[in-house]
Structure 1
Amino acid sequence: MTPNSPAPAPVSRPRRLGWVFLVMALAVGGLGWWSWSREAGEEEAPSEPPVLAEGQNREAGEAPPKSGLVGRGAALERRSSPGTEDMRVSVLSPEQRERLERRELWTARLERAKQTLESYVSATRYPPQSRSIREHPDQVVLAEPERTRPLSREHADVQLRLKQDRVFVVSDEAVHFFVSCEDSQRAPRPCQVLSASAHEAEHVQGAGGVPAVPVAFTDDGAAGDALAGDGIFTGRFQPSKQGFPLYSGTLRVDVRVRSDKAEGMAFLDILYTPSPPATFTGRVREALADGSLLLYLGIHVRKAGRYVVAGRIDNESGEPFAHVSFNEELKEGVQEVKLTVFGKLVLDEAPTFPLQLRDVEGFLLKESGDPDRELMTTMRGYVHTTKEYPATSFSPDEWQSEERSRNRNEFIRDVEEAQRQLDATLGEEKRP
């Protein structure tokens, strides 16, 4: 029953009637039923198809059912009774049921094709190398992993908090590790690093060729430790000076930790490159071209190949705005890589100028092997501040490319095909 349907009248208990009145009531009822059946049969034309749902008659262009119980009454009953869909389908002929299924199928496919086209066009309005920072929440800052894990299976109530100030280490750079203990409510617990050692990660092919070396963890406020006696133990590891001057790949630091009488193990990983394949010169120049702002970074390439370079763009007040990148082949020698701040992205996001480029990192992508890259030394912090530009300097046009056009045309054809099939199905329903 629909919310607007009138409530059924209450049924009173029948009074005791005499046999005469009962027979008379039955006779009158039978006569009324015979009369109604005869009128309904005369109203309904022999060639009239079974009555369909109101929506189906409207969409297919069929004439609405004639007045009377077969038309208005049956439609009202179907709208206001449970199982309406089953009742509607049950009165269809096999051909009508097949048409209904085809219409529902192509209606759904058309809607899905339109959504796919719209989503693709929206997602590709900016080039892959110039995107809103909201699309890269993990790239807002340089990687400084932090995680917790149980001290051991037997002491799951004690949590280890593990953190490091960088993952990628190049040449003479050093990494700092931080270890502390806490309970499930993050309240500090007694903690002590019993031992720690650095070695080649077990998953690296041929691991074990370089012997493990000890790594000291202290809580004395020195060697990178922020505050003495705060329960956070700090370890400093410099691969080039601590046993791995020529190693390239993943290094793992194992730590054994005690909290009261409980003990457990954990590890922290870094990716190390002893000699960078290229270096940033520190020189940055800017230019406007085709309605976008281009930042050219100087780079000295020692090993030719495909390089990936990425940076972050902040607005005047330091709020993250965009993630920009470069991914192309470079030859040996001093040259430039181009980072594009796309014009439409600037107009859509409306950052306040001047913009600031920061935390630029890069690597040489290797075709095979583990690791899959050789790291460049990261330029940390702000490395360039742009000039101020009016909004009229930037183009509102969406990004275009051969690949985008090809994919967009494919999605348009999907929409057109679904529409054609739906129109054909509706045309069949209109035919008698």
Structure 2
Amino acid sequence: MQPPAGPPLSPEEAEREAQRQLWEKRLTRARFTYDSYKQSTRYPHESRPISEQPDLVYPASPERKQPLGKEQRDIALKLKQEKIYVVGDETVRFFVGCENASTGQPLPCEVHSAVAREAPHLAQAGQAAAVPLDFNDTGREGDEVAGDGMWTGRFQPSRQGFAMFEGTLRVEFRVRASGNAEGGAFFDIVFTPAAPATFTGKVREVVEQGSLQLYVGLQVRKPGRYVMAGRVDDEAGIPFAYVEFNEELEAGAREVKFTVFGLLLHDKNPDFPLRLRDVEGFLLREQGDPDREVVKALYGPVHLTQQYTLDRFSPDEWTSEERQRYLDEYAKDVAQAESELGNLSGRPGNPKAP
């Protein structure tokens, strides 16, 4: 049985109760905002848990599926390319296969023609002649397994007609599947003919300001703002950190500083030695298309660190003027809500920060 209802509230009491409930909700929201921001900014922007960005655990190798054509939606194309950005004399491979769109059952198909040309959206597209490309399923020219139904094409822009080109290139191809069914698709890459800088392959490590710093050597040909990134795995090869660099660099011998933040090491407690791998980046362009000039990446393991114990690193949270300013403002919201709620409850407010 429910307890008997108390006497009805007076209009003033009802208004006071409504205000109290409103400020309780505001206090809950203010505390959540403060705590969420404080937790999400424990580490600096350039040194984060890689679990926050699972799509960046490995360098981009785009895959997609699409219908063979408007009239052949029962057949799906399986498409994959090794990379999006191609630099200098690098080669990129493309993979094309077919399957039943409903069941995923592989279907026989053939890439019977393919060309590379300037992407049609470019302002001066069409000035360079299209170049024919070869796809095969014979276990040669980059194809890994003969007769597996996955057709492979290789493209080296610097030696196949685009040595002087910079920007987006499109590889268009036609596919014949299940007899007479035919359709097509394309891959896009962004080509940088001459890298603005080159990684030297040298890395030095040092413990500074409570964090592990990895300095990657870079020979800069063109000065400007460089945006770089790398991945850090533990001894067992488990990815745990994504590190970034975003600074202006002058021409000459320089270093890219990757920070493995001290508190991140304490929180994740990875087994040493750590391994830096898959370092990539670009020179940001202020205008034009494309918006970057790509540096040839260092794929695979780049550096293996020394052994360290956690007491070498600081357990302190990251701080900055901006972060503290936001925390102070969110703390004011919490204090105001606590004060208002205290007044409405007949108690003095507690304006202290969380």
Letter in 2 for 1:215: L
Letter in 2 for 1:368: Q
Q: Which residue of 2 aligns with 1:359?
A: 278
SS of match in other structure, 2:345: helix
Q: TM-score, normalised by structure 1?
A: 0.77
Q: Which residue of 2 aligns with 1:168?
A: 85
Q: Which residue of 1 aligns with 2:96?
A: 179
Q: Which residue of 2 aligns with 1:106?
A: 23
Letter in 2 for 1:374: E
5 Å-filtered alignment, 1:279-290, equals 279-290=198-209
Q: Which residue of 2 aligns with 1:22?
A: none
5 Å-filtered alignment, 1:201-220, equals 201-220=119-138
Q: Counting strand residues as a fraction of each chain, which structure ranks higher?
A: 2
**Whole-Å Cα distance in 1 between the matches of residues 34 and 122 of structure 2?**
43
Q: Which residue of 1 aligns with 2:75?
A: 158
Identical amino acids, percent of aligned pairs:
55
Matched, 1:142 2:59: yes
CA deviations on 1:237-270 (whole Å, 9 max, x unpaired) are: 1111112112221111111111122111211111
**Whole-Å Cα distance in 1 between the matches of residues 209 and 167 of structure 2?**
41
Matched, 1:228 2:146: yes
1:119 positional shift: 0.6
CA deviations on 1:111-170 (whole Å, 9 max, x unpaired) are: 111001101111111111111111121111111111111111222111100011111100
SS of match in other structure, 1:166: coil
1:373 positional shift: 0.8
Matched, 1:120 2:37: yes
Matched, 1:393 2:317: no
**Whole-Å Cα distance in 1 between the matches of residues 117 and 17 of structure 2?**
67
CA deviations on 1:84-123 (whole Å, 9 max, x unpaired) are: xxxx9xx555444433332222211111110011011111
Letter in 2 for 1:404: R
Q: Which residue of 2 aligns with 1:241?
A: 159
**Whole-Å Cα distance in 1 between the matches of residues 293 and 150 of structure 2?**
32
Structure-2 change in CA distance of 1:97 and 1:262 (3 Å): farther
SS of match in other structure, 1:317: coil
**Whole-Å Cα distance in 2 between the matches of residues 211 and 304 of structure 1?**
33
**Whole-Å Cα distance in 2 between the matches of residues 414 and 208 of structure 1?**
59
**Whole-Å Cα distance in 2 between the matches of residues 320 and 359 of structure 1?**
11
Letter in 2 for 1:110: L
Q: TM-score, normalised by structure 2?
A: 0.93
Q: Which residue of 1 aligns with 2:352?
A: none
Matched, 1:371 2:290: yes
The structure having more radius of gyration, on CA atoms, is: 1
5 Å-filtered alignment, 1:17-32, equals none
**Whole-Å Cα distance in 2 between the matches of residues 405 and 338 of structure 1?**
24
Q: Which residue of 2 aligns with 1:270?
A: 189
**Whole-Å Cα distance in 2 between the matches of residues 343 and 300 of structure 1?**
28
Q: Which residue of 2 aligns with 1:302?
A: 221
CA deviations on 1:38-97 (whole Å, 9 max, x unpaired) are: xxxxxxxxxxxxxxxxxxxxxxxxxxxxxxxxxx6335xxxxxxxxxxxx9xx5554444
**Whole-Å Cα distance in 2 between the matches of residues 166 and 231 of structure 1?**
21
Letter in 2 for 1:287: V
Gap regions ≥5 residues in structure 2: 348-354
Q: Counting helix residues as a fraction of each chain, which structure ranks higher?
A: 1
Letter in 2 for 1:164: Q
Matched, 1:418 2:337: yes
Aligned pairs, how many? Answer: 345
CA deviations on 1:352-382 (whole Å, 9 max, x unpaired) are: 1111111100100112222111100000111
SS of match in other structure, 1:186: coil
1:427 positional shift: 4.2
